[in-house]
Amino acid sequence: MNTDELKKYITQSIDMALGSDMQGESSYTNSFSIELDKGGIKFIPRMPAGYLIDDNLYQHIFKILNVALYPNYTLLKQNTTYFVPISTRNIHVQRALYFPWQVGIPRRLIVTNLEDFATQNGGKIQIMKNLSIDYNRVTSIALAGTSGSGKSYFLTYLLESLKHVDENVHGEIGLKTLTVIDPKMDEPSRWAKANGVKVIYPATDRSKSDFVAQINDVLSECLKLIHKRQQVLFNNPSTTFKHVTVVIDEVLALSEGINKNIKDTFFALLSQIALLGRATRVHLILVSQRFDHNSIPTSVREQMNVLVQLGNINRKTTQFLFPDLDPEGIVIPLGRGTGLIQVIDDEHPYQVLPLLCPTYYTSKEKIL
């Protein structure tokens, strides 16, 4: 389908589905036109218009076109109406509703040997066939989802990638670049033990408050490292550090039912690391069934620039990581390890994308 045929198809789709919303006006009455560019679709209303051009109209057009263009294009969901100016002196058509798109649909990455694959990507973490993130641009990562949604499986993939993320960078001697905190003593603990990574899990003879106090000691050391590195950067801004990452699984389980002073300290340390860690390459990866104010402080959630929600997607499940998002109209594939992802940096668009987590096999699995 060439560009003219695609424009005609899009125009017809809108005409047929939006008749009542536009008070009977259509392209046949010259009430709007469609233009395409490399980045997306422009819906150009002719003003004055006999229909209301608002967020309701924008979201309706999104729902229509996202389905109509699947699987050739994926429209990128916007939280609010997206206007762009049109370069013309004609005041009647100087603005457009803009719908950014990507060619094709998200496709799952299949990794036949995870250990080998993780050593080949340098500072990049490949998420899908058409999406990777540069860990140098990451502040912190939030991974949410109900039990059985694939959180632990995806977390293991991230851990294996992080183990090799900056092997060529020389850092401080004896520095622990990866620490796993696992209150359930589950899959992340087993991965850490098998890979010689520092892991903290509850001891049978220690209380929950004592366990969180132990975690606070680790976070406190990270904060001291941030301050130390800030001094180095002040004198030599070009200094490159190794990434230091603290991974906390089921963070909600840590913040409930513990001593208030210890919880306040835990929240304060998380906030400071999230706020100050980016320039000094100190990161948090937090995993939880949900990220309400009981699990982490709002200031921590606001600093995270990689947000992942797995499992069932609706307004209830997305209200904490994506509070302004109405997920209706986003085409999300069914199956385990699917959901939404948003990467907020200067390399990716700010839109929320459908996510299909990688399917991977380890070298041991290949031998079996």
> Cα–Cα distance between 52 and 77 in angstroms, integer?
21
Confidence of residue 368 (pLDDT cuts 50, 70, 90): very low
Confidence of residue 214 (pLDDT cuts 50, 70, 90): very high
- b/e map 325-349, b = 16+ CB within 10 Å: bbbebbebeeeebbbbbbbeeeebe
Shared domain check, 137 and 202: yes
Shared domain check, 359 and 225: yes
Shared domain check, 297 and 180: yes
Is 146 labeled as ligand-binding? yes
Name beta bridge partners: 309: 144, 340
> Cα–Cα distance between 49 and 169 in angstroms, integer?
59
Is 147 labeled as ligand-binding? yes
Shared domain check, 338 and 214: yes
CATH number at 267 reads 3.40.50.300
Segment 58-76, tens digit of pLDDT: 999 999 999 999 999 999 9
Shared domain check, 153 and 276: yes
Shared domain check, 91 and 148: no
Question: Using an 8 Å Cβ cutoff, are 319 and 283 in contact?
Answer: no
Is 123 labeled as ligand-binding? no
Is 148 labeled as ligand-binding? yes
Question: Using an 8 Å Cβ cutoff, are 244 and 221 in contact?
Answer: no
Is 63 labeled as ligand-binding? no
Segment 151-197, tens digit of pLDDT: 999 999 999 999 887 655 666 656 778 999 999 888 999 999 999 99
Q: Which of 321, 353, 322 is CA-nearest to residue 339?
A: 353
Task: State the total domains in the chain.
Answer: 2
> Cα–Cα distance between 180 and 161 in angstroms, integer?
14
- pLDDT for res 146: 87
Q: Which residue has the higher pLDDT, 226 or 362?
A: 226
Shared domain check, 224 and 267: yes
Confidence of residue 348 (pLDDT cuts 50, 70, 90): low
11 is in which domain, residue-wise? 3-103
Shared domain check, 77 and 12: yes
Is 152 labeled as ligand-binding? yes
* Among candidate residues 41, 68, 103, the one where a domain is terminated: 103
Question: Using an 8 Å Cβ cutoff, are 207 and 227 in contact?
Answer: no
Shared domain check, 99 and 114: no
* Among candidate residues 103, 134, 162, the one where a domain is terminated: 103
- How many CB atoms are located within 10 Å of the residue 188 CB? 25
Shared domain check, 159 and 292: yes
Shared domain check, 179 and 82: no
Residue 123: CB partners within 8 Å, gap ≥ 6?
134, 135, 136, 165, 166
Shared domain check, 50 and 182: no
- How many CB atoms are located within 10 Å of the residue 230 CB? 12
* Among candidate residues 103, 125, 141, the one where a domain is terminated: 103
